[in-house]
Structure 1
């Protein structure tokens, strides 16, 4: 869930790094270190990565890792990484690995993205900033289930289920999707896409870079990967910043259902914005009227779609455009067009690039999201469980709950989890800074609170009175920016949890 490098995703998508060494895959997450250390040979990045990074110039290289850590001497896959090297040898502390989220987000150009967006130069002086296409993504043994723009599977958030029959109908679709993914996995990579394995990959990258420890900055799903790395390799983790937390080391059914909570908590910000602009958009004079407009419009589109836009599309678009306030005007324009029923206006207001223009990378992103989410943890297999959950969340979170509680291909996934999800380890250095907006659609504030409880005294939580997905560099709160920069550059962890008022 990708319009912007990092954590913002294309509207219909919900919207992934790490490595290890010694022990059993089932009993423990570590695996044996390679006898001969790999070193990275840096060179030019692929042309599209270089173009996306411009004017920043990145270097790229590859690191070989086991496809299956249970068979460390077996087949290898190549991971592509990028580097924005520190230009101040007197300031350089080590490496800062990045992850933009997902699972399914390409991170090769992320160092340049953050630099171009204005990350403080002190951070760039302190670290070699490392981006990665994690296993299965982009140029790192990419996987694809063969999803097409006109196929039945177009987003990792299920469609809104208007009734029980819709859940049953969706079950038939996602069962075929799970079978399709298995049929397309000719290289046998799909079952090895897990948070634990990508954490092990991170540690191989750390070793290949010649570092005893690594720092990490992860957004959204990247917080799960960072939490896994800090738990699997606490002695090799340096300064860890987890921004917009999902609440654990993996995305499970409860985590996806929290998307609906996030929408309920974030929508009032848009409703106030739209109400203040009623004379321009006509969506309601008060926030309550704007909320009623949402439900009325969704129900009308359920009954009679406009130019292919039905109630589910409205709900998905609203979810996606609540990620950042800068998108509110576009969302209001789309509502306005749909409300008018003018098909020409709907086409004009539609997101740039229709379904026919969906890039091939979307297949890769959707496939990785599915594989990691389904491989990490066992999902319920009974359709009745999902029907009950949809009914519960339709009442509890009426705006979007009947979507996020709906059944996914994980219910029929052909691969059983190879190991238990990575358990949070609260016995380690106090080096984990959690940063979280109070209102965030896919990662509501409770995700930060959950990780704070699980990491206990290893962590501190920075709660920010702001709305949207992403805080550090993505947001504009001076307290959050200064607190995070101070930790990354000087290692000054707050003595207690921090509340940052609206900036």
Structure 2
């Protein structure tokens, strides 16, 4: 085991030299971009063994200063269309400064996709991200998690053990080589922030300007990462409660934030006891979480759902289906990066404690996942995030982010040390840079990526 760990670490830390770039670009059949594939080892411990193809896209600039790799987060988010998404929201100076490079991370899209063979019923969001029963019981969740872990390896057991953050970072360096670049710049959000930090720790000499947005907590992966959702959702719920109280004459959810909170618990309890039109208490919890997740623009839609339930009207709940490869890669990354506890009783105790401390999410952040029944152990330790390297990483973060709370960005800032700076915006929701319209935060990020203006110290911006 010791030899495996040492070997894998050496492979990760040794940068691949910028040899001859042989990438062939052709028009993408489905996107107004250029497409290419980069061949990488399935298992970096056996570099001459089985290969997989990573699907890469490019939006070329006229006179770029370099390349900007992009990742949308997840884990499991596909990234081939990221150059188009960034082009729509980025200032022209940024688009002109870089060739924008998207890619489907291994396991997703057109990069050796994996699957857990999920049935439509198994993709129900109340099950997939493991909401316990209304009273906190996790027996049904444990049965589900055990079955999903089994199905994942029945369908993609040859690929899944190699779907890790470290291997994805190594794939990024193979992309760098294929592009003929000595260094890469990078913009990644949510899980993409952690992926970028892993790359910068493995390949510091190849790291140019890195902007990590909505920063995932690199400590206590992945159980602790999810546990952060509990207090994060509570904090973000307060934003909605203040908004809903101000709009009480329209929606009737309560004239004070405290009354809005009481309405939420009354509605979930009502649906826990007697679902209406198939809508359960946990489904309302899911819809509330999703309504809090991103910008305040989601608040009216969430308020209308609550209002309809309160008035006994039919509720048309929006669905958020997830594709097989996205879900399977989510579990691959989270179960292969670190070993999870296999003690079911421990999860039960954690859920009961968490639902008391953070009742809005009813214990979901602490619930059991397929990782508790994952049939293989990680074959290398998680990459240690370090400050080894130049000062070239900017973190951008909303103060009230329910998905990646501020505490994670602060932890990442501490681990990266003087190599990084933290730019915060006094805003709520998941997604900060180029997302919330915070001019101060956006300017700091763009000045860094385009002009290399590294903040002298951490920056705090007011609300958008």
1:267 maps to which residue?
237
Is the 1:249–1:422 contact (alpha carbons within 8 Å) kept by the matching residues of 2? no
Render the CA deviation track for 1:211-268: whole Å, top value 9, x for unaligned: 0000010000000100100000011000010000112188410110111111111111
Alpha carbons of structure 1 residues 279 and 32: separation in structure 2 relative to 1, 3 Å: closer
Q: Does 1:483 align with 2:444?
A: yes
Alpha carbons of structure 1 residues 249 and 98: separation in structure 2 relative to 1, 3 Å: farther
- Provide the TM-score with structure 1 as the length reference: 0.88
CA distance in 1, matches of 2:246, 2:47: 60
CA distance in 1, matches of 2:184, 2:220: 21
Is the 1:146–1:180 contact (alpha carbons within 8 Å) kept by the matching residues of 2? yes
Is the 1:160–1:400 contact (alpha carbons within 8 Å) kept by the matching residues of 2? no
CA distance in 2, matches of 1:252, 1:101: 15
Q: Does 1:108 align with 2:69?
A: no
How far off is 1:269 after superposition? 1.1
Is the 2:18–2:182 contact (alpha carbons within 8 Å) kept by the matching residues of 1? no
Structure 2 matches for 1:167-182, cutoff 5 A?
A: 167-182=138-153
Q: Does 1:242 align with 2:212?
A: yes
Is the 1:224–1:249 contact (alpha carbons within 8 Å) kept by the matching residues of 2? no
Q: Does 1:469 align with 2:436?
A: no
What is the aligned counterpart of 1:151 among 82, 103, 122?
122
CA distance in 2, matches of 1:75, 1:38: 21
What is the aligned counterpart of 1:296 among 266, 269, 289?
266
1:282 maps to which residue?
252
How far off is 1:169 after superposition? 2.7
2:300 maps to which residue?
329
Structure 2 matches for 1:36-51, cutoff 5 A?
A: 37=20, 39-47=22-30, 50=31
1:408 maps to which residue?
369
1:460 maps to which residue?
421
CA distance in 1, matches of 2:323, 2:392: 35
2:458 maps to which residue?
497
2:194 maps to which residue?
224
Q: Does 1:387 align with 2:348?
A: yes
Render the CA deviation track for 1:48-92: whole Å, top value 9, x for unaligned: xx2xxxxxx3111110100111111011101111111112x2xx2
Is the 2:338–2:378 contact (alpha carbons within 8 Å) kept by the matching residues of 1? yes
- Provide the TM-score with structure 2 as the length reference: 0.95
Relative to structure 2, which stretch is displaced further, 395-404 or 34-43?
34-43
SS at match of 2:324: helix
Q: Does 1:24 align with 2:21?
A: no
SS at match of 1:496: coil
Render the CA deviation track for 1:110-151: whole Å, top value 9, x for unaligned: 1111212x3011111111010110100001110110112223
What is the aligned counterpart of 1:71 among 11, 21, 46?
46
2:97 maps to which residue?
126
SS at match of 1:329: helix
CA distance in 1, matches of 2:85, 2:336: 30
Q: Does 1:86 align with 2:80?
A: no
1:397 maps to which residue?
358
What is the aligned counterpart of 1:314 among 284, 308, 314?
284
2:335 maps to which residue?
374
CA distance in 1, matches of 2:308, 2:441: 37
CA distance in 1, matches of 2:306, 2:323: 25
Alpha carbons of structure 1 residues 292 and 43: separation in structure 2 relative to 1, 3 Å: same
Report how many residues are paired. 458
Alpha carbons of structure 1 residues 227 and 156: separation in structure 2 relative to 1, 3 Å: farther
SS at match of 1:261: helix
Alpha carbons of structure 1 residues 203 and 152: separation in structure 2 relative to 1, 3 Å: closer
2:384 maps to which residue?
423
How far off is 1:185 after superposition? 1.3
Q: Return 5+ residue gaps in structure 1 as ranges.
A: 1-21, 51-56
CA distance in 1, matches of 2:19, 2:438: 45
CA distance in 2, matches of 1:212, 1:386: 46
Alpha carbons of structure 1 residues 83 and 224: separation in structure 2 relative to 1, 3 Å: same
CA distance in 2, matches of 1:152, 1:215: 35
CA distance in 2, matches of 1:202, 1:156: 29
How far off is 1:326 after superposition? 1.0
CA distance in 2, matches of 1:386, 1:163: 14
CA distance in 2, matches of 1:492, 1:36: 30
SS at match of 1:151: helix
SS at match of 2:387: coil
Q: Does 1:198 align with 2:173?
A: no
Q: Tell me which stretches of 4 or more aligned residues in structure 1 moved more than 6 Å.
A: none
Alpha carbons of structure 1 residues 34 and 499: separation in structure 2 relative to 1, 3 Å: closer
CA distance in 1, matches of 2:272, 2:14: 51
Q: Does 1:58 align with 2:28?
A: no
SS at match of 2:144: helix
CA distance in 2, matches of 1:189, 1:32: 24
CA distance in 1, matches of 2:335, 2:65: 37
Alpha carbons of structure 1 residues 499 and 32: separation in structure 2 relative to 1, 3 Å: closer
CA distance in 2, matches of 1:455, 1:260: 25
